[in-house]
Structure 1
Amino acid sequence: MNMGITYLFGALLTLGTYAIGIGLYKRYKKTWLQPLIVATVLIGAMLLVADIPYDTYMKGANLWNWLLGPAVVALAYPLYFNLPMVKKYFGPILLGVAGGGLFGLFSGYLLTKWLGADTAVATSTIPKNATTPIAIELSEMVGGIPSLTVVYVMIAGIGGAVLGIPILDKLGIRHPVARGLSIGIASHGFGTAKLFETSDREGSVSTVAYILTAILITVVCTIFFS
């Protein structure tokens, strides 16, 4: 496979499977048919069946990783219109990020160690609540396995959207700050995008929460692991 086809393959495979996911989700409205879940399963299956190395696929798929930056910046647009609410509750948001962020930072590590995982596997969980680009860099810093960290990041994001939001609904938690804060800390951009589907207020709080959580995780990892 020459270089041009390699780049085109990864980019189009990602786009195509995600489009299929969107179509299935719009038609059946099932939480477990989130486009990211569908795309991940389809891509994994196709790579396994065709015996295509993951690195080959990622040469083209990295285009979408690069676009994560502009996508995050775009979240500032709805946030701007909800700044009064964010300012009003900024103190509780900071406290929530401090507590939830630190808990998320070490809970995965302690759990995986308790289950008998080796140190590299356990430390790969430490940056799981940061966004993917940050988590990859931090994984290398703390001695983890970046590719495994990406899996943990996806599990955190998908878990928040698929399980976290329904749990909040079942518990009757309706306040936009409480909902946005919990999902933003635990599920970063993916959970935030899911909240924006139903509420700009919840999504805006979640945006602030996951950005602050990423900053907190970066600072803690830099202090203790650099």
Structure 2
Amino acid sequence: MNTITLFSIVLTVAAYGLARLLAVRFSSPLTTPVFLSTVMIILVLAGSGITYQDYTPAKEIMTYLLGPATVALAVPLYHNRDVLLKKAAPAFWGLTAGTLATVVSAVWMTKMFHLTEATAASAAVKSVTTPVAIEVARMIGGDPALAAIFVMIAGMFGAMFGPWLLTVMKVTDPFARGLSIGTTAHGIGTAQIVQEGSLQGAVSGAAMGAASIFTSLVLPWLFPLL
């Protein structure tokens, strides 16, 4: 591991830790740790002359750790299994409605602005996790790179404004909050909502996985109809 890679890893961890502290002290969508730490990292890298190519090895190491982190979501799922089973039916209908709404609204917005069919296909998968989004985008004629960008934007905005918007709308039930964020903001939103509590994190993680499966099954035949 070279010096730049080590520096990039330390920078990323430190920026996220600092962003977490600031989020506790100054609660605001703009202090959401995922967003604020991203801004800090970009500013430091730009100021130090470290390019994205230089940062890539560090990114790959940290991305590898996403696997164990995702598996770790099974722990809160197990601890909250009784609640999940009890509310499985309403959760199914809520997830179905939420997933269809994100797909339809994304496609209709791209058509409203007269964007290309490939852009519409790429936007349609914005609310599922990146690996699934890339593969489904390919299946329906989208651009995988553009799909990944839409996924990142949806996750970032979901993490920043999702919990705040739910609070404004007086949605206080932990189960409903987790289901909403997991359905629309995948892993980035889940990383944010889990800070509210283990139940929110468990439901969001389950919704993220279920939404990905549902989207991959439904979108190939639904997209041509839109």
TM over 0.5: yes
Conserved? CA contact 1:21–1:33, under 8 Å: yes
Indicate conservation of the 8 Å contact 2:29/2:164, yes or no: no
Tell me the equivalent position of 1:169.
Answer: 167
The answer (yes or no) to whether the contact 2:129–2:151 under 8 Å persists in 1 is yes
Partner of 1:98: 96
Structure 1 residues without counterparts, runs of 5 or longer: none
Residue range with higher mean Cα deviation, 44-53 or 117-126: 44-53
Change (3 A) 1:14 1:91: same
Aligned sequence identity (%): 36
Structure 1 partner of 2:84? 86
Q: Residues 22-49 of structure 1: CA distance to partner in whole angstroms, max 9, x if unpaired? A: 3432443333112211222234445556
Single out whichever of 16-25 and 159-168 deviates more from structure 2. 16-25
Partner of 2:59: 61
Contact 1:14/1:61 (CA < 8 Å) preserved in 2? no
Q: State the secondary structure of the residue aligned to 1:124.
A: helix
Partner of 2:39: 41
Cα distance in 1 for partners of 2:215, 2:104 equals 10
Distance, in Å, in 1 between the alignment partners of 2:113 and 2:46 is 28
Q: CA deviation at 1:168?
A: 1.7
- The Cα of 1:136 is off from its aligned counterpart by 3.1
5 Å-filtered alignment, 1:98-137, equals 98-137=96-135
Distance in 1 of aligned mates of 2:210 and 2:169: 25
**Aligned-CA RMSD value:** 2.7
Over 3 Å counting, the alpha-carbon distance change for 1:215 and 1:162 in structure 2 is same
**Between Structure 1 and Structure 2, how many residues are aligned?**
223
Matched residue type, 1:91: A
Range that drifts further, 18-27 or 63-72: 18-27
**Matched residues in 2 for 1:190 and 1:134: separation?**
15
Matched residue of 2:196: which SS?
coil
Give the alignment's TM-score, normalised by structure 2.
Answer: 0.83
Report the Cα offset of residue 100 of structure 1: 1.3
- 195-204 vs 206-215, which moves further: 195-204
Q: Which of 124, 145, 148 is residue 147 of structure 1 equivalent to?
A: 145
